[in-house]
Amino acid sequence: MVACTRCTRAWPLGTPECGRCGAKLVSRDEHSLQKVWALWVVGLMCYVPANVYPMLKTKQLFTVDESTIIGGAVELAHHGAFGIAAIILVASVVIPLGKFWAVAFLAVSVRQRGGFTSHRRLLMYEVVEYIGRWSMIDIFVVAILSALVQLKGLATISPGPAAFFFALSVIFTMLSAQAFDPRMIWDAQDNDNEAPDHG
Ligand SMILES: [Zn+2]
């Protein structure tokens, strides 16, 4: 049998496309890992300028201030806004780096025999899926922050070029995680079971 990855209806093996939703049916996406790595690299490449270029441009009466993600978080902490600083650090450093690591871990581990149980790989996959939906929180923080400051009329804050790269990075890592075919987890388990040291 082969399952439709879009609507989960199962069809006999060899059926070219899903009769219910029209999606193409493939038992295994043979290029899955290749796509995962390609998108992963692009995501990482976008993540670098996202941290190097300014995320926020603050215009006060006579001065223009530019701050990067981390610089902005440090500055916020100086002003006593530890909560927002923590959210920014978690959303723009901890979550993206964790996601890069987790996707790479999955892609490497399905090609290696033994070492990890399928349960742990599946758990990792679910973690990646779960944190993915929180990764845009940083963009929201920037949006809320600029709205707040502009309401007060003290300064104008606008997103810098880093915001664009950050959004790109999030999109590419999301696509990278999506390109991962979770069925490879179970194939890896079959390989493990066939290995001689497992009998
Ligand atoms: Zn379908």
Domain co-membership, 115 together with 94: yes
Rounded distance from Cα 39 to ligand 1 centre (Å) = 25
Residue 25 sits in the same domain as residue 35: no
Q: Are residues 175 and 141 in the same domain?
A: yes
Confidence at 199, pLDDT banded by 50, 70, 90: very low
Cα(52) to ligand 1 centroid in Å equals 43
**One domain for residues 121 and 24:** no
How many domains does the chain contain in total?
2
pLDDT computed for residue 78 by the predictor: 86
CATH number at residue 77: 1.20.140
Q: How far is the CA of 30 from the centre of ligand 1 (A)?
A: 19
Q: Are both 9 and 83 inside the same structural domain?
A: no
Distance in Å, CA 19 to ligand 1 centroid:
7
Q: How far is CA 88 from CA 11, 144, 159, in A?
A: 45, 12, 14
Ligand 1 centroid–CA 175 distance in Å is 20
**CA–CA gap between residue 156 and residue 111 (Å, rounded):** 50
Do residues 49 and 160 make contact, with C-beta atoms less than 8 angstroms apart?
A: no
Distance from the CA of 174 to the center of ligand 1, in angstroms? 22
> From the CA of 46, how far away is ligand 1's center (Å)?
33
What pLDDT, in 10s, does the model give residues 44-77? 999 999 889 887 777 777 777 788 888 878 887 8
Q: Round to whole Å and give the CA distance between 140 and 136.
A: 7
**Do residues 142 and 72 share a domain?**
yes
How confident is the model at residue 24, as a pLDDT? 84
pLDDT of residue 136: 66
Q: Looking at per-residue confidence, does 49 or 121 come out higher?
A: 49
The pLDDT score that the predictor gives to residue 166 is: 85
Q: Do 7 and 73 have their domain in common?
A: no
Q: 78 and 150 in one domain?
A: yes
- C-alpha to C-alpha distance for 176 and 197, rounded to whole angstroms: 33
Check if the beta carbon of residue 177 is closer than 8 Å to that of residue 135: no
Q: Which of 23-27, 99-103, 130-134 has the lowest mean pLDDT?
A: 130-134
Residues 8 and 58 in one domain: no
Compute the distance from residue 54 Cα to the ligand 1 centre, in Å: 44
For the cut 70, the answer to whether the pLDDT of residue 37 exceeds it is yes
Give residue-wise pLDDT tens across range 176-190.
888 888 888 877 777
Instruction: Say yes or no: 111 and 26 in one domain.
Output: no
Extended strands (E) in the chain: 2-3, 10-11, 56-59, 64-67, 156-159
Residue 111: give the domain boundaries. 31-198
Chain segment 129-173, per-residue pLDDT in tens = 777 666 666 667 667 666 666 666 666 777 788 888 888 888 888
The pLDDT of residue 198 is 44
20 CA to centre of ligand 1 in angstroms: 5
pLDDT at 135: 65
Q: Sign of the C-alpha dihedral, residues 18, 129, 97, 81?
A: positive
51 with 26, same domain? no
> 11 alpha carbon to ligand 1 midpoint, in Å?
9
**Residues 120 and 191 reside in one and the same domain:** yes
